[in-house]
Every structure is written in C-alpha cells, then in structure tokens.
Amino acid sequence: MELKVTRCEVRDDGVATVWLDRPGRGNSWTNRMNTEYRYLMAKLDADPAVRAVVVTGSGRQFCVGADAKALGFYTETDQEYLSTVNLAENARPGHGIRPEFDHDMVWHWGLRVPVIAAINGACAGIAVAIAGFCDLRYAAAGAKFTTSTPRLGLPAEYGLAWLLPRMVGITHAADILFTGRVLLAEEMKEIGYLNDVVPAGQVLDRAYEVAAYLAHDVSPASATVAKRQLYAELLRHDVGAAVDSSKELIGEYMQRPDFSEGVRAMAERRPPRFAPPSPEDLPAAPSTGPSRD
C-alpha cells in the first residue's frame, strides 16, 4: 500500500514506530489515515521481528482529531456516517482473538504486540480514543487533551464512554465527556490516563526506552498472553475464573521454550535471550490492496 498520511519504521531492536503524518493539518484523522493505520498495524503484528510498536505524531502534535473538512462534509451531504467509515476493504488487525475485540479501535487489544502511545502534542477527539486503546501512554509536558465532541453537538465517540470510566473513574470521565474542556498532560497523568509525563522533546525517547525494554528483556509470548489476559479479565468481572484461567495458562506456557530460557537466564544471572514468536503465534499479514485516495 502506498502511504500518504502515515509513516513507519522498524528498528534493529524490534521496536517499530508508526507516525500519523499530516503535520500541516495537525495530523488530523481521515478515512485514508484510518485505512493506512490499520494496514500498518496488521503488517507489524504479523512481522516476527517486531516486539513493540510506538504510535506518535509528526511535528509538534499527536492528532487534533477528525479533519475539519471531513466534518464539514457531513453537514452538506445526505450520506450516512457509518457507510463512510466502515470500509470492508480495510485491514482487520487484532481480529479473531475475542469477538469483543473485533471492532473499531478495540482491535488494538487483540494485537500480539504491546502498543505505546507517545503523545508529543495536542491530542483531541478521536485521538483520545486511539491513545486510550493503546497499552501504555506517555505524553509531553503541557500537551493538551480534549474530547471536543460536546462543542460539536456529538456524543462520546469510539467507546470513550466505556473506556474512560475504567481508566480514570466515573467522576473524572463525566467531567471529560460532558464538558469537553482542555486538560493538560499533567492532569491526565494525575487522574490515571497517562503512565508518565516528560519534558517536551523527550516523549519519544521515553516511549522508546519502555519499548526497548519490552523488546529485549520480555518474552514475546508472555507479553502477548498478559496483554490478552488484561483485557479479557476486564470484560469478565470474575476473579475466581481469572485465577483458574491463569493457572491453566501457566501450565501451558511452562511447556514453551521461553520458560526454559527464562529459568536458565535467572540461574546464570544474565539477561534472557528470547527467540522471535513462533509462526503459529503470528497473525496473517494484510494484503496491500489497491491504493485509494
């Protein structure tokens, strides 16, 4: 696929970076960006060399939300919204793990690899959901966050009414979703949305630091199964079943090579050397499909 509004790079250490790449438009979200983003994430998830993915924005902003021209389109047309965003030809990253994950944005939770949002600047509208469905979030000091929708006459979008109460609590979620006010990164960390806030210009380095650790010191199989346990148990609400399920998984994963390597490394007091994921652990790579504007 020809990339027009995103960029991608895979480092030798197994850390991949995806840039939302419309810096002249605040990296604003479009259907084209959605198509490319899904394609890239499916491709990276299927690459055994990739151990972690960092998502960030080009220039000084993360993503200012939906493109203003795209929003204006819906005030001038009779075309129904869902038909313009539910595109059958789009890649389906993270699908097939759990039915609950087979939806827009929630597919992040079905990915094999941990995904880290490096929020380098303004994060508005749909971008709050994109970052929220990533696994870890780091932001630049002073970065501004807003859901925007209350000032547009729209409801909470892309699952934020489900996600935010579980991340920051009902009280803070109500504030964010009802008012659409601007919150700085420091407040977003205080209420639990962000893992850390670092000086402007260092957020990508901080995300890379965490991603490199995951890529080098963590079993890829363990990262994948723990990620899927985390979100599956969030949906199940049954602590006893969570304990029993984890015990079954422990027995299964003790038969894997990563467990033997981890035990040897601990005994020898050295860093573990985990092999890439097995072919059966990898999803299918997406087809490139025809390029479209």
CATH code assigned at 259? 1.10.12.10
List Cβ neighbours of 169 (8 Å cut-off, separation of 6 or more): 191, 192
Rounded Cα distance between 233 and 68, Å, is 38
Rounded Cα distance between 8 and 4, Å, is 11
* Predicted local distance difference test score (pLDDT) of residue 79: 52
- Return the H-helix or E-strand segment holding 186: helix 185-190
Q: pLDDT at residue 53 above 70?
A: yes
The reply to whether 31 and 150 lie within a common domain is yes
The reply to whether 171 and 227 lie within a common domain is no
Reported as a single tens digit per residue, the pLDDT across 239-277 is 788 888 888 888 888 888 888 888 888 899 888 889 888
Entry pTM: 0.89
- Answer whether 66's CB lies under 8 Å from 29's CB: yes
State the residue range of the domain holding 159. Answer: 6-215
The total of structural domains in the chain comes to 2
The DSSP symbol for 277 reads: P
Per-residue pLDDT, averaged over 30-55, amounts to: 96
Whether 281 is in a domain gets the answer: no
Whether 125 is in a domain gets the answer: yes
Reported as a single tens digit per residue, the pLDDT across 89-106 is 899 999 999 999 999 999
- Return the H-helix or E-strand segment holding 55: strand 52-57
The reply to whether 266 and 134 lie within a common domain is no
* Predicted local distance difference test score (pLDDT) of residue 279: 81
* Predicted local distance difference test score (pLDDT) of residue 150: 83
Specify the higher pLDDT residue, 292 or 14.
14
Out of 215, 244, 263, pick the residue that ends a domain. 215
Reported as a single tens digit per residue, the pLDDT across 110-132 is 999 999 999 999 999 999 999 99
The reply to whether 209 and 129 lie within a common domain is yes
Q: Work out the mean pLDDT of the chain and round it to a whole number.
A: 89
Whether 290 is in a domain gets the answer: no
The reply to whether 210 and 227 lie within a common domain is no
The reply to whether 229 and 208 lie within a common domain is no
Lowest average pLDDT, out of 51-60, 186-195, 238-247, goes to 238-247
The reply to whether 31 and 94 lie within a common domain is yes
**Kind of pairing between the strands at 136-140 and 196-198:** parallel
**Tokens matching residue 265:** 């490394």
